[in-house]
Structure formats: C-alpha cells, structure tokens
Amino acid sequence: MVDTKTDNDYILKVTDLNVVLQNQTIIDNISFEVKRGTSLAIIGPNGAGKTVLLKTLFNLIPYTGKIEWSDNLKIGYVPQALTAQGIPISVREFLSLKNRSKANDALESVGLDSKSILDKLLGVLSGGQLRRVLIAWAIIDKPDILLLDEPTAGVDIDSEEAIYEMLKRFTNANHITLILISHNIHIVREFSDYILALNKCIIFFGKSQEIMNPELQRKIYGEAHICIYEPVVSI
C-alpha cells in the first residue's frame, strides 16, 4: 500500500517491498528510508531491479509491502531513456507544457543558455543538451524530491560530471531530496550522501564513501551475494 504518513525527518519509507513480474522475483523483500534533504544513489549490476524499484515507488508496478511518502509532495522524475528524434516540438513548447513562465529559469538552472536553445527542436539537441532539458522539465516547479534514472545516459565524461555538479548545487540550494540510479561508482561517491546497493535484494545500505571498499564492490557486482533481510537501521 502507498501511504503518506512518513514523519517529518523522512521523505520516504519502504518496508518489506516485493515485486514479482511474470513469475520472476525482481525485488526481494527490501526495506529502506530516505531522509529529507539528502541524496541516495541506487547502484547494482544490470538486471538488479533498479529501474523497477523507481517505477514501483510511483505505484506503476504491482507490489506487496509498504511505501510511505511524506504528505503533499511534488515529485520530479527523469527516465533512463527518451528518444527525441523526429519529435516536432521545440524546447520552448516542451517546457511550456508544464510551466511556460519558468522555462527560462529552469534552463539557466541546468546550465543552458535559454536564448540560444529555446527554439531548437528536441530532436536536434546533443545527448548532453537533451538530458539537461529533461532535468529542467523535472525541476521547473521546484519539486520536493527528484528521481533520476541514469540522468547522464548517453553523454560524455566531461558533460556527466558537469551535470552532476549542477544537480548538487541546485538540490542543495533548494533543499531538494535526490534519488538517482548510476553505474559510475566514482560519481556515486562524489555526489550522493548514501548508497543503496541492489541485486534484487539489498546488498548494502549506508554512506557513499564506503563504495570504494573493494570487498563491498565484490559483493555488489559478484555472482554470489547475500541479502539483508533484517530491518535496516536508520542512517
């Protein structure tokens, strides 16, 4: 069940969450909490259930267990993959679908020159520009929490770091809670407070600096793993 009774310190509490799709267990009895104003990175190998978890938090996928959000939240979301080729819509028109008056500010917040990009078609943007426009769409109304599924997919290394730097500045300045999926453990260490290592079950849940521990990386990305089934201690 989805609830909205989380206490003021926590924006999200997940308890005993299970997802089974086509008779396959995708999420196996996970529990975790997200403190308001912090950033959480979800990591794990391909097929670990990371994207399924984000979609489940939106109540888009059937599940058992309990998901509790704080009351009256505004949530921003950027999906992993979105192809804009052939879409006959400009950046201005795209952002205006949500909030025309704040389009310029949103673009400036993600490091784009609104004057030079507003009238470009989405389909002609570079990978980095498109990802920034999608993030602008997600933050245009200053959400309480921002969920990002591989926010730098398809961009080069320099653009990736610049996007994360921008996200860190923006979320800190506006006290926005951030949940993101990333494969880059160096980015995770640098730009998130906590990590949730997932491989159907929770392998690790704690401070991001610990991701550099070789033994922890082996547990996360190795073939064998041990699930944490006991309740997760608040962090």
From first to last of its 235 residues, the chain has per-residue pLDDT tens of: 556 656 668 999 999 999 999 999 999 999 999 999 999 999 998 889 999 999 999 899 999 999 999 998 999 998 876 666 667 899 999 999 999 899 999 998 888 998 999 999 998 888 888 888 999 999 998 899 999 988 777 777 777 888 888 888 888 888 999 999 988 888 888 889 999 999 999 999 999 988 888 888 888 887 655 665 444 444 4
Residues 149 and 41: their CA atoms lie apart, in Å, by 10
pTM for the model = 0.85
Pairing status of strand 10-21 against strand 24-35: antiparallel
Cβ–Cβ under 8 Å, residues 181 and 150: yes
Helix (H) or strand (E) holding 190: helix 185-191
pLDDT reported for residue 232? 46
177's tokens: 């809670």
Task: Fill in the DSSP letter of residue 90.
Answer: B
Q: What totals of helices (H) and strands (E) does the chain contain, helices first?
A: 8, 10
